[in-house]
Amino acid sequence: MRPALPFDPSGIRLDPARGLAAQLYQALRERILDGRLGARSRLPASRDLAAALGVSRNTVVRAYEQLYAEGYIEGRTGDGTYVAERVQPPVKPVAEDGQVPESAALARLQRHHLAPPPVGAPRAFRVGVPAFDLFPFDTWARLQARFWRNPPADCLGYGDAAGEWRLRELIAAYLRSARGLHCDAAQIIVTSGAQQAIALCAQVLLTAGDSVAIENPGYRAAGHAFATAGAQLHGVAVDADGFCTEQLQALPACRLAYVTPSHQYPTGVTLSLPRRLALLEWAERCGGWIVEDDYDGEYRYSGTPLMPLAALDRQGRVLYVGTFCKIAFPALRLGYLVVPPALAEAFARRRALDVRHSEVGTQRVMADFIADGHFQRHVRRMRRAARSRRDALLRGWPTVPGCAPLPLVEAGLHLCVRVESRQREQELIAQARQVGVEINALSDYWLPESSAAVDQRAGLVLGFAAVPEARIAEALKALRKAWNLGAS
């Protein structure tokens, strides 16, 4: 007669075609974790359990040994084997609807996250994409091969969280000469694109509950970064002169303002000089911060690129965000942040906690790309190409019922045209999608709780730099047909 066992093993099914000891270990572990074998429960002797399951004693011994090694069971001298103390995971509280309650951070992330990017090769009129078909990949490959053929030993370990010093020096020199922004390498933080720079500003400068003023309509991804840090978002209207700074007076506790002054995203307007000075005066008076996102500031089609807002800052209140992704290609994931000197160490420390440091090889190759003069030549080439592609769109755009005329476009990589109603906006975009043309809805750039009427938010946002002029012409021909415009 078999001895009585401390628990019923009849539910354990072992497949002889697979490892028996591993299966038994897994079955016992599951019973311990879900509470069927509670803490201090006695386990059968290995011989007895082997007989009950019809396996060899060695199979049970190996399963027990693995459970011993991982701390699930313990032996008591002369008294057998027992489930160890406190091995069951803590029971999470369950809400009335049966769902495990989320943390505040997870709840914010449910509301504030990025949509998946468009898939496939660029097509007209994808927003946010430069003419990366013109990037000198052969030059880049040669510089990269030269670096990795014999990489210096000092760059194969852990790097500086703020970025490679030589690249930071070259970025600072470029900003001084090309943008009129006087800064030094110690103020530069190399980032994984502009989005990480914005997220860093949120993490370092804000605490949960702080108020942040953002352009409305505006770059929603920036708003998501501030919101997931716990900030309260307040939309500020954008008119022909840009960010309406007078609305900050209604936000006495505002901690930070996020702006795209050189070329507002998505409306395309430029922040006027009086508004720039008013914004700086607000930051100095209230101790607020300004995050200036200069994502496509190199693209100016009349005169030289505008001097950044940060170049007017005399009190160290502006943090300047720049990126190589709009000059090279988005997949490069290389940007930078210029911070006031007093904040440089704090930003480097915070970034080290997230990613330790950026990939060193790409930084060193970019430094060579700049130092050898390739970057400056490529900027000029990209500016000429974007102007030519802009002209192709402006020249071929048809008269569209329900749409305002196209605006004057003096900067950037996109334009925005207003539409009479949201219904008309959605109709035009759906018809364009059917013929393979990408157009963004201006209504998607507004905060959900915006006070603006639904129809006032309607418009079309078109990127014009992603594809060559011939493909722009093909897309415009397809749109005329989709929108039933004939040959107009």
Query: Distance from CA of residue 290 to its chain's centroid?
Result: 20
pLDDT for 111 = 78
- Residue 488 vs residues 75, 299, 400, 480: alpha-carbon distances, Å: 87, 30, 9, 8
pLDDT for 100 = 58
pLDDT over 90, % of the chain? 68
pLDDT for 487 = 60
Cα torsion 289, 261, 314, 205 to 10°: value is: 20
Strand arrangement, sheet containing 42-43: 42-43, 80-83, 73-76
* Tens-digit pLDDT profile for residues 68-83: 888 898 886 667 888 8
CA atoms within 13 A of residue 427's CA, in its CB half-sphere: 12
Tokens describing residue 225: 């970064």
pLDDT for 181 = 94
Instruction: Specify whether domain 109-121+134-376 bears CATH 3.40.640.10.
Output: yes
- In this prediction, residue 231 has a pLDDT band, given cuts at 50, 70 and 90, of very high
pLDDT for 213 = 97
User: Which CATH number is 378-482 given?
Assistant: 3.90.1150.10
- Residue spans per domain, the chain: 9-83, 109-121+134-376, 378-482
* Tens-digit pLDDT profile for residues 85-112: 766 565 566 566 656 566 777 887 787 8
User: Which CATH number is 9-83 given?
Assistant: 1.10.10.10
Q: Indicate the SS3 state at residue 95.
A: coil
> Residue 111: which of 461, 449, 456 has the closest Cα?
449
Rounded to the nearest integer, the mean pLDDT of the chain is: 91
Phi, psi of 267 (to 5 degrees): -75, -25
pLDDT for 17 = 84
pLDDT above 80 for 250: yes
Whether 73 and 81 have beta carbons less than 8 Å apart is answered as yes
Query: To which H or E segment does residue 460 belong?
Result: strand 459-463
How much is the pTM?
0.82
* Tens-digit pLDDT profile for residues 192-207: 999 999 999 999 999 9
Average pLDDT value for residue range 377-393: 96
Strand arrangement, sheet containing 318-323: 188-191, 335-338, 318-323, 289-293, 254-259, 211-216, 232-239, 242-243
What span, in angstroms and rounded, lies between the C-alpha atoms of 399 and 485?
A: 8
Across 33-47, 86-100, 309-323, 412-426, least confident range = 86-100
Q: Between residues 111 and 439, which one has the greater pLDDT?
A: 439
Kindly tell me the burial class for residue 17, based on how many C-beta atoms sit within 10 Å of its own C-beta (0-12, 13-18, 19 or more).
Answer: exposed
What span, in angstroms and rounded, lies between the C-alpha atoms of 127 and 125?
A: 6
Q: Between residues 256 and 54, which one has the greater pLDDT?
A: 256
Average pLDDT value for residue range 236-258: 94
pLDDT above 80 for 329: yes
Average pLDDT value for residue range 259-284: 95
pLDDT for 39 = 85
Kindly tell me the burial class for residue 471, based on how many C-beta atoms sit within 10 Å of its own C-beta (0-12, 13-18, 19 or more).
Answer: middle
- The top-scoring range by mean pLDDT among 66-80, 305-319, 364-378, 440-454 is 364-378
Q: Indicate the SS3 state at residue 360.
A: helix
Average pLDDT value for residue range 437-465: 92
Query: To which H or E segment does residue 191 belong?
Result: strand 188-191
Q: Indicate the SS3 state at residue 435.
A: coil
Cα torsion 361, 366, 372, 375 to 10°: value is: 160
Query: To which H or E segment does residue 259 belong?
Result: strand 254-259
